[in-house]
Structure 1
């Protein structure tokens, strides 16, 4: 299994070329297959340019660059792939195309040839269903750009041999990658657990809670994510991101928590694909709009008396400043019979707030003044339950626990995948542990009551962990 000499890569697009570069850089002869010879030429030219850049920066010797290029062999006859020990398919993301291709490969190649797909969400079990020796079929999902990104998802279908998965994990490590193992399920680890990061942002935009730049700033600067969700979809490509969401949604039998966004669909229909087309959520040919931070409040609003009543609740004169637990500011104001300002998670210097419509303006200004005195930049959004950061974190952690409970992957591999695959500042399960399972459970239950939707249903493992957390504390 581990004696992998020749590697074949099917498809010479961005991912195929990147994977071919990785394999050739680690000493393998690489058969680069495409039905169009000019596509292979473009791919190899792109690899040559990247290697030349590395040589110019002193990251690679000229001799090593030439050796890597010499290992890349263009192939337009699929029969030639019979010489490969490992085949990595990085072609069309359509099941019927993959099934036909793998059936042809199984007929051409000897039984010991490992057949893998770089698919990001299509069932490995389905790909392998109709071929001889399905135990040698697996997913080998790289992340873009493949030469740079460390993560590789090694995906086992129903028939995949454990020895095949072991061999692929060892190969990925030999290539300087970090493999994570998972079962074939819609979206695997990363594209499943990451869905709420995008979907909660689209929902906020649909409900006109805040402008795109505020939503992105909240998640980026208040949540610690490297990019905001809307700007990230522009970078990925709205068509690509929307297609993955639709694929996961349909594969889960229209599970509501994966519901695609009509706003995103409109962008795709309009051809506004993001950075690659010049326009998406943002106009990439102009300046990105700036966040409308609250002006510095006059000192006459400085609070007279500040008292921390409990964890997450501060009294500022007659105003309650409450860290969100999934209820609107107005519902809290009615319950407490006093002005309420709800604030989102504040890990950094940003404070996103929502205020009760019944608040006197002076009461809201006192809360803003207090937050500014704590060194926060404040931005106000509509009265939205769970605000932006807390509800997103709760949904991501809930999805990660659901994947864990259903045996998709181990806790360690789920956290590793999300840190390395999409650069989250923390793994979602470790993050949930730190944030508090009971807190996340309460927030989701409040959101479920508010919307009356299954979308915010807490998974049973979240309830179990919240219960254990409560018993430890008591």
Structure 2
């Protein structure tokens, strides 16, 4: 977008306006800067100058470059001074009526080919542009906060945005050194739509008292590979901000259960515990006093004390995404035996839902159900990816979380991004599993160099259910042509710092395994929240097929 260099305007001198202005002048653009309060622009110019001074002190910018960048910032006293610019980026208060009034006023001032971009994170671009005479030139440019540091910008096309306008804006974003992803005007756009389960599943696990916030955060970081856990991240973002986005997306999707807000987080906001900015959130951030009767959670995760390793491990069936575990056990010096599953995958398909004995006291289940087996019995489900088990001498049977509630004698273990690199593993024992059997299971993973946390009997554990739901919403967004699979994965890696894009992750795990986890969760929570999207189920093939085809 070469003509944008000749004139760019930023409207709004708050946090986002400052960040966007800094990015633009840093890339060589002359920027006119307007705010309804002129003094706010003057203060904002000084704030940007101070931030650039810190970059000089750190050796990331020369003094000459700093002076030149600040010199490209020109405060505007009147909106009419923006008449000759070719792009206006709006970053004012997040209220639709305020943005609509601003753009209506700008339309009477700027040229017909000037692009009007809103930095909204949650409002409909289509609605903002709805009253314009030329809505085709209006689009969303959603920078992430802090804009100078975060690489992602969502280029959002409203219902009537001209495709040429989208491409011009994408070119500008790329010229700023940012990663541009294109998406349709949908509630939450890409990141705020697809990322909801990262928060929602952890909050639901907390509400079910499966574990403490610190434990869930630790498992998602140290096993799932996420940079921050959802409790610590929302404390950083602000509980009120995160809850408002969640509620906005939920309402925009007509209260779809897949986006239901957390009652626990709502209560946190109502109590004034907003996170770091208030001194208290899920955690205590150093304030001496908080709302009466609401103690902040400890930041120390629950960790199982050291336990002896099992004498040996018997591997039964296909461990699917956890298939590397026997090799890690052998490397750790644990004797590993293999017991071939009775029946092949083709036999499972041929017999369909034939029943087989389940674990003691569990009755019989069909293969189409959970397919649990007891000691001495090898179930047909063990031939399915992820259906295998690890049998320990003391009586524990370990199975990768599959969306069901563990039943005796099983202990479920959670998904890991990389079992070799993971430093923590979560276990969820069935009711009735002895303390000795649980200690033996913990000792197995401790022998592999992992810390172990124990969750309550939570369906799908925490990493498995979170990743499965992220993949589901990503597949749904791609299937509805909100964005391409590549842009969805790029957005979640760059905008949310996920270790994998959700569709890429589903491909590595095996789409069938992801669907199986969701169906197990749907059986436990039959309200539609976990029912897999048809766009995900259509991807399902045996093995680890490419989820992006």
TM-score by length of 1: 0.95
Residues 471 and 100 (structure 1), Cα distance of their counterparts in 2 relative to 1, 3 Å cut: closer
Note the C-alpha offset of 1:329. Answer: 1.3
| Aligned counterpart, 1:242 | 243
Aligned equivalent of 1:369, options 443, 451, 457: 443
Structure 2: distance between partners of 1:262 and 1:364: 32
In the TM superposition, 1:111-260 aligns within 5 A as 111-260=112-261
Note the C-alpha offset of 1:288. Answer: 5.4
Query: Residues 172-216 of structure 1: CA distance to partner in whole angstroms, max 9, x if unpaired?
Result: 111111111111011111110111001111111111111010010
Structure 2: distance between partners of 1:277 and 1:76: 35
Query: Residues 283-310 of structure 1: CA distance to partner in whole angstroms, max 9, x if unpaired?
Result: 111795311210011x4xx434411102
Aligned equivalent of 2:462, options 370, 388, 399: 388
Structure 1: distance between partners of 2:511 and 2:126: 34
Structure 1: distance between partners of 2:286 and 2:23: 33
Aligned equivalent of 1:345, options 402, 406, 415: 415
Pair 1:296 & 2:306 matched: yes
Contact 2:507 2:544 (8 Å CA) reproduced: no
Pair 1:378 & 2:452 matched: yes
Structure 2: distance between partners of 1:450 and 1:59: 53
Pair 1:316 & 2:392 matched: yes
Residues 43 and 288 (structure 1), Cα distance of their counterparts in 2 relative to 1, 3 Å cut: farther
Query: Residues 447-466 of structure 1: CA distance to partner in whole angstroms, max 9, x if unpaired?
Result: 01101121101011211111
| Aligned counterpart, 2:97 | 96
Contact 2:89 2:119 (8 Å CA) reproduced: yes
287-296 vs 382-391, greater mean Cα deviation: 287-296
Note the C-alpha offset of 1:469. Answer: 5.3
| Aligned counterpart, 1:41 | 42
Note the C-alpha offset of 1:440. Answer: 0.6
| Aligned counterpart, 1:336 | none
Question: Equivalent residue of 1:466, what SS?
Answer: coil
TM-score by length of 2: 0.82
Structure 2: distance between partners of 1:176 and 1:14: 20
Structure 2: distance between partners of 1:426 and 1:471: 16
| Aligned counterpart, 2:428 | 354
Structure 2: distance between partners of 1:94 and 1:162: 26
Pair 1:458 & 2:532 matched: yes
Structure 2: unaligned runs, 5 residues or longer: 288-296, 320-388
| Aligned counterpart, 2:313 | 306
397-406 vs 456-465, greater mean Cα deviation: 456-465
Pair 1:14 & 2:24 matched: no
Structure 2: distance between partners of 1:471 and 1:221: 26
Question: Equivalent residue of 1:462, what SS?
Answer: helix
Note the C-alpha offset of 1:269. Answer: 1.4
Structure 2: distance between partners of 1:14 and 1:310: 54
Structure 2: distance between partners of 1:175 and 1:360: 59
Contact 2:194 2:470 (8 Å CA) reproduced: yes
Note the C-alpha offset of 1:468. Answer: 6.7
Structure 2: distance between partners of 1:105 and 1:174: 25
| Aligned counterpart, 2:323 | none
| Aligned counterpart, 1:434 | 508
Contact 2:507 2:545 (8 Å CA) reproduced: no
Structure 1: distance between partners of 2:154 and 2:27: 19
Larger CA Rg, structure 1 vs 2? 2
Question: Equivalent residue of 1:164, what SS?
Answer: helix
Aligned residues: 462
- State the superposition RMSD in angstroms: 1.6
